[in-house]
Structure 1
Amino acid sequence: MHSERFRPLVDAKGPFVSIYFDDSHDTQDAAAQLDARLRDVRKHLEEQSVDASVIEAIESAVRGARPPVGRSGRALIAAGGAVVADEHLIRPPATTQLRVSELPYLIPIVEHGLLHTTYLVVAVDHTGADITVHRPGKVSHETLDGEGRPVHKAKTAEGHEYGTAQGKVDEAVRKNIRAVADRVTHLVDDVGAELVFIEGEAGARTELASALPERAADKVVQLQGGGRAAGTDEAEVRHEIGQEFLKRRLATIDDAAQRFAAGRGTGLAVEGLADVTAALRDGAVDTLIIGELGDATVVADADLATVAPDADTLSALGGAPERTLRADEALPLLAAATGAALVRTDERLSPADGVGAVLRYAENSSAG
């Protein structure tokens, strides 16, 4: 996962409130369940003496957002009386996770967050398309109705008239599909979309994909569900999109696992708190691999510029060990500060101390 999405958190001032909860909207009592979760969150935050303005900002963000479709999780991080991160998750957490701490807790977003990418969802038929542009923090919609008519053969067409009528229909459909393809291509170029999800009747999907130039066609993922007709199952569309993101996330983990394995013994991969914090200090980390860190801690100077696994190491580096921080909060934030990618491990990776890194260049020495 690219870390640019976390850059605003690097400069934000704590304490931070990090909340992860199930905000699925797939049952009749979904609204009541959400109310109950928010009451529980409020109670826990009040018990930890969180300022009322922060609690109100969190509740406003949740209630002010459009309800999700189907199964969904929600991530909220607040600081300084404002919500500084607000995202939906592909998978809801099994239980509500809540932290009030000096640094933001990012790992659940790394593990279950949607890809922080710009993509299009195009619901197409032979008359035009409904196009939704998803950008980080912004969603926009537009409808394109093609000028080609008719798109259905007249029932009265018989004999020699059939060929003429069908030809007119075919040309009208081609005209409309070309118009949609032109608009989709323009949007791909304009917003830098990385994916184009196409939903609708199979024939229209295939025709649109074929009409796109290669630079846009290479980004196409055809969905089996959805369409322009009323009553379309939005939950199925969301599920298919989530599965595509999950597939890409697994491919990213697989790539990180291969690079980590290849880098061992070459100086291009390190593991364990000592060597990983050393690489982060040097700005050498290309990809931080986060496993099960448990309650491990690191120590840092006042401004988080120098971080080490223990006070003796920090003192040897000339730093003053003024802060003891959770490793699962400090290391991802440091990775974001240096532009490193973040990957949550699965069974393919078990780095020492629960953390490893693929490096941008070979380290000549480890921490010590």
Structure 2
Amino acid sequence: MYPNSLRALTEYTGPFVSVYFEDSHDTEDARTRLELSWRGIEEELRERSAPDEAVEALRSAVLDAPPAVGRSGRAFIAAGATVLVDERLLGPPVRTEVRVSELPYLVPLVDHGPVDLTYLVAWVDHAGADITVHGPGGVHEETVDAVSGPVHQAAGAESAGYGTPQRRTDDAARRNVSAVADRVTHLIDERRLDVAFVAGEVRSRSDLRGALPERTADVVVELDIGARGSGDHDEELAHAIEEEVERRRLAAMDDAARRWSAETGRGSGLAIDGLDDVCAAVRDGSLETLLVGDLPEVTVVADSSPTMIAPEPDALSVFGVSPARTLRADEAVPFGALHLDAEVLRVDERIDPRDGIAALRRYAT
């Protein structure tokens, strides 16, 4: 799946520089290894005649960025002096990829890149919560403070009876949890967030989930990684977010594979496989979901349009156009899908498409 930020790529022309490499920060010499990796990448970029301004922009983006947390990878796509994609990958790529080509290379982002996950993190206790929102408007932080007086019973206080310190403490805690629940619900609804990660005291997490409406409780993921204000838990939080992203990625793959298999069995025309038919779906605009498997190093021909692509020139001649470019299929087909606002998913052994590529159409043709 592509982050929405990639749509901006369609507004630029090549050559594009696409770079994917490991930048794990889990050893004492991580900085040295990063600099050595970049040195090798830059040398390869020079050999491939990458524009100087792109190399300079990428050097700054790579070496000036804050270090990763644990094992990580990076993805960069640049055009001219503009770095269009600068993403932390969910894991290191299998190998370093360096390309200078007419189109951006997007497949590794499908393998390892982030989905458009919008979420909040709420560190809760019975006095309130510290909330951080990662949504369409960027990062927003706020605190929901205690609204009902003390929530911790003083030592030696009475423990029963209406109006006793214990009862007042419990009532205050419930009101505070309710206030947090109201705020979390508002933020999820207002910003259309995908997930609410809730960390903090076990009872506070449980009480908060119980105070949320069902639609909101359904997107809560509880994290047992420490109490509110207990210190730095960035690595544990990053791991939890990665797990949720991967869970969603696998669920999307499962769903697409089931749909593709079902439509293939029905003979509805909505499920197609093979480079010929997939290119046809790109040309006629019916492509809904592109399923990329082990696509071999083959080429397609195209005119100036990113969606007028075909494995052979004859397929374009019926449209009255002549091929003007020869492009790598693993660049041209995903880029055409990007222009159509189609979803792009990686598939594994769930299906075995012809030519290593398949698709679902929006409508049968």
TM-score class, shorter: over 0.9
Give the corresponding residue for 1:49: 49
The aligned amino acid for 1:229 is G
The aligned amino acid for 2:316 is L
Matches within 5 A, 1:254-293: 254-264=254-264, 265-293=267-295
Specify the SS of the correspondent of 1:167: helix
Give the corresponding residue for 1:340: 342
The whole-number CA distance in structure 2 between the counterparts of 1:40 and 1:319 is: 41
Matched, 1:244 2:269: no
The whole-number CA distance in structure 2 between the counterparts of 1:127 and 1:334 is: 52
The whole-number CA distance in structure 1 between the counterparts of 2:27 and 2:256 is: 38
The whole-number CA distance in structure 1 between the counterparts of 2:33 and 2:226 is: 27
The whole-number CA distance in structure 2 between the counterparts of 1:33 and 1:150 is: 52
User: Judging changes above 3 Å, is the alpha-carbon distance between structure 1 residues 201 and 25 closer, same or farther for their aligned structure 2 residues?
Assistant: farther
The aligned amino acid for 1:39 is R
- Structure 1: which 5+ residue stretches go unaligned? 364-368
Give the corresponding residue for 1:225: 225
1:294 to 286, 291, 296: 296
Matched, 1:175 2:175: yes
| Offset, 1:90 | 1.3
CA contact (8 A) 1:90 1:113 kept: yes
The whole-number CA distance in structure 1 between the counterparts of 2:234 and 2:3 is: 29
- Count of residues paired in the alignment: 363
What RMSD in Å do the two structures reach over aligned CA positions?
Answer: 2.1
CA contact (8 A) 2:306 2:339 kept: no
The whole-number CA distance in structure 1 between the counterparts of 2:333 and 2:310 is: 10
Matched, 1:350 2:352: yes
| Offset, 1:183 | 1.9
The whole-number CA distance in structure 1 between the counterparts of 2:297 and 2:159 is: 80
Matches within 5 A, 1:122-201: 122-135=122-135, 138-158=138-158, 164-201=164-201
Q: Deviations over 1:22-48 (max 9, x none)?
A: 222333332222222222222222222
* Greater mean deviation of Cα atoms: 58-67 or 9-18: 58-67
Q: TM-score, normalised by structure 1?
A: 0.92
The whole-number CA distance in structure 2 between the counterparts of 1:149 and 1:209 is: 22
The aligned amino acid for 1:243 is E
Give the corresponding residue for 1:110: 110
* Greater mean deviation of Cα atoms: 289-298 or 141-150: 141-150
Matched, 1:59 2:56: no
* Greater mean deviation of Cα atoms: 299-308 or 139-148: 139-148
| Offset, 1:163 | 7.5
The whole-number CA distance in structure 2 between the counterparts of 1:359 and 1:160 is: 65
* Greater mean deviation of Cα atoms: 116-125 or 168-177: 168-177
The whole-number CA distance in structure 2 between the counterparts of 1:307 and 1:72 is: 35
Give the corresponding residue for 1:100: 100
Specify the SS of the correspondent of 2:304: coil
Specify the SS of the correspondent of 1:330: helix
User: Judging changes above 3 Å, is the alpha-carbon distance between structure 1 residues 123 and 3 closer, same or farther for their aligned structure 2 residues?
Assistant: closer
| Offset, 1:167 | 1.6
User: Judging changes above 3 Å, is the alpha-carbon distance between structure 1 residues 111 and 282 closer, same or farther for their aligned structure 2 residues?
Assistant: same
Following superposition, which runs of at least 4 residues in structure 1 exceed 6 angstroms of deviation?
159-163
| Offset, 1:258 | 0.9
